C-alpha cells in the first residue's frame, strides 16, 4: 500500500476551529497495491469535514447504516460532514486510489454552498483529472514542509479545489439541462400533434427511455403543469376555438378533440372555463 499524508501541527486528531473562515487540517492519499482491504469505521464521525476523491478504481461506502453498500467509482467525490457516520472500505482487487482532505472553519458550511455543494450532497461526479491530483499533492507537500505562509496557501489551494469542482458541477448541470429541454420540447410537440388521440403518459415516457416519475416531475418543472393537465389544456383550447368558429354540435366537438363521452367533456370544459360548452356558445351570440 502506498500512503502519503500531512497533518497540521503533526497531529492526526480531528479538531474543530472557528477562529478562521476555512482551515485545512490534514490531507493525504492511499493507493492499494499489495494490501487486500483498507477499512475505515468511525461510528460517531469526526468533528471536521472530510472530502474524498476517488481517482482510480472504486470504493465501498455505507452512508446510512453499517449494512448499506454504495459503490462509488473513479471521478466521484464523497463529502462527510461533522459527526456523520463514516464507514467505508477500499479493496486491492479494485485497484483503488484516493485522495482526501480534512477541513474546518467558521464559514466551512457556507463555503461549500457557495461552490455548488449543497447540504444534501454526499457524492458528486467531477470527472478524473490530473488537476485535482496536483492540488491534493500540493496540499500534502505544504503540510509536510510547513514553510512560511503555508496555512494561508493551504486555504487558497482548498478554495482552488472547490472552484474546480464548482466549474465541473455547472458543466454537468448544463449538459443535463440541454438534455432536459430537448426531451420536454419533444414531449410538447408530440402532445400538440396527437392531443385528439388516446395518449398513455407512461408508455410515452418508457418509449423515450424515461421513468414515468422522472418524466412527470421534470415536465411539471418546465411547464408548470403535469403532462395530462397540459393535454387537457390543449383539448379545451381547441374545443373553445371550434365552439367559436364552427357549427359542430358539442358531441361532435367532443369526439374531434379526443373525448368519446360528451358529458365528461362538458364537465372538463366547465371546470376549465367556468361555463358549459353550450353556455359558452350562447354567450358568443
**CA triplet 57, 170, 119: central angle to 5 degrees?**
75
The per-residue pLDDT for range 172-189, each reduced to its tens digit, is 666 667 788 888 999 999
HEC profile for 189-255?
Answer: HHHHHHCCCCCCHHHHHHHCCCCHHHHHHHHHHHHCCCHHHHHHHHHHHHHHHHHHHCCCCHHHHHH
DSSP string, 162-192: HHHHHHHHHHHHHHHHHHHHHHHHHHHHHHH
Q: How far is the C-alpha of 211 from the C-alpha of 10, rounded, in Å? A: 51
Helix (H) or strand (E) holding 105: none
Output the CATH code of domain 195-285.
1.10.10.60
Domain spans, the chain: 2-172, 195-285
What are 199-225's pLDDT values in tens digits? 999 999 999 888 899 899 889 888 889
C-alpha cell at 20: 478562521
Q: Which residues pair with 56 in a beta bridge?
A: 97
* Closest listed residue to residue 143, CA positions, set 29, 27, 60: 27
2-172: CATH topology: Jelly Rolls (2.60.120)
- Are 87 and 35 contacting, i.e. CB atoms less than 8 angstroms apart? no
Residue 196: half-sphere exposure toward Cβ, Cα within 13 Å = 9
Q: Under a CB-based contact definition with an 8 Å cutoff, are residues 239 and 265 in contact? A: yes
pTM across the whole model: 0.64
How does pLDDT run along the chain (285 residues), one tens digit per residue?
A: 788 999 998 877 889 999 999 999 999 999 887 778 999 999 999 999 999 999 999 999 999 877 788 999 999 999 999 999 999 999 988 889 999 999 999 999 999 999 999 998 999 989 888 999 999 999 999 999 999 999 999 999 999 999 999 998 888 666 667 788 888 999 999 999 999 999 999 999 999 888 899 899 889 888 889 999 999 999 999 999 999 899 999 999 999 999 999 999 999 999 988 889 999 888 876
Cβ-contact 191, 230 below 8 angstroms: yes
Distance CA 280, CA 207 (A): 39
Interatomic CA distance for residues 152 and 78, integer angstroms: 24
Amino acid at each position: 500500500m502506498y500512503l502519503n499524508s500531512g497533518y497540521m501541527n503533526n497531529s492526526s486528531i480531528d479538531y474543530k476551529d472557528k477562529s478562521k473562515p476555512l482551515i485545512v487540517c490534514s490531507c493525504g492519499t492511499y493507493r492499494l497495491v499489495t494490501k487486500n482491504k483498507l477499512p475505515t469505521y468511525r461510528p460517531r464521525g469526526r468533528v471536521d469535514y472530510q472530502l474524498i476523491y476517488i481517482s482510480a478504481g472504486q470504493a465501498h461506502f455505507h452512508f446510512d447504516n453499517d449494512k448499506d453498500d454504495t459503490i462509488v467509482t473513479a471521478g466521484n467525490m464523497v463529502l462527510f460532514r461533522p459527526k456523520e457516520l463514516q464507514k467505508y472500505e477500499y479493496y486491492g482487487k479494485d485497484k483503488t486510489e484516493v485522495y482526501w482532505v480534512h477541513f474546518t472553519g467558521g464559514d466551512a458550511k457556507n463555503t461549500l454552498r457557495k461552490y455548488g455543494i449543497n447540504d444534501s450532497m454526499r457524492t458528486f461526479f467531477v470527472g478524473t483529472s490530473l488537476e485535482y491530483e496536483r492540488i491534493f499533492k500540493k496540499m500534502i507537500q505544504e503540510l509536510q514542509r510547513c514553510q512560511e505562509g503555508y496555512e494561508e496557501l493551504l486555504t487558497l489551494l482548498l478554495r482552488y479545489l472547490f472552484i474546480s469542482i464548482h466549474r465541473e458541477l455547472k458543466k454537468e448541470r448544463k449538459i443535463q439541462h440541454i438534455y432536459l429541454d430537448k426531451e420536454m420540447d419533444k414531449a410538447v410537440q408530440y402532445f400538440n400533434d396527437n392531443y385528439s388521440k388516446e395518449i398513455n403518459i407512461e408508455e410515452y415516457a418508457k418509449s423515450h427511455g424515461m421513468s414515468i416519475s422522472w418524466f412527470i416531475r421534470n415536465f411539471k418543472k418546465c411547464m408548470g403543469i403535469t403532462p395530462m393537465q397540459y393535454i387537457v389544456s390543449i383539448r379545451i383550447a381547441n374545443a373553445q376555438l371550434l365552439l367559436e368558429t364552427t357549427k359542430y354540435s358539442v358531441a361532435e366537438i367532443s369526439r374531434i378533440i379526443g373525448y368519446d363521452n360528451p358529458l365528461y367533456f362538458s364537465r372538463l370544459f366547465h371546470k376549465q372555463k367556468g361555463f358549459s360548452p353550450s353556455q359558452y356558445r350562447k354567450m358568443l351570440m
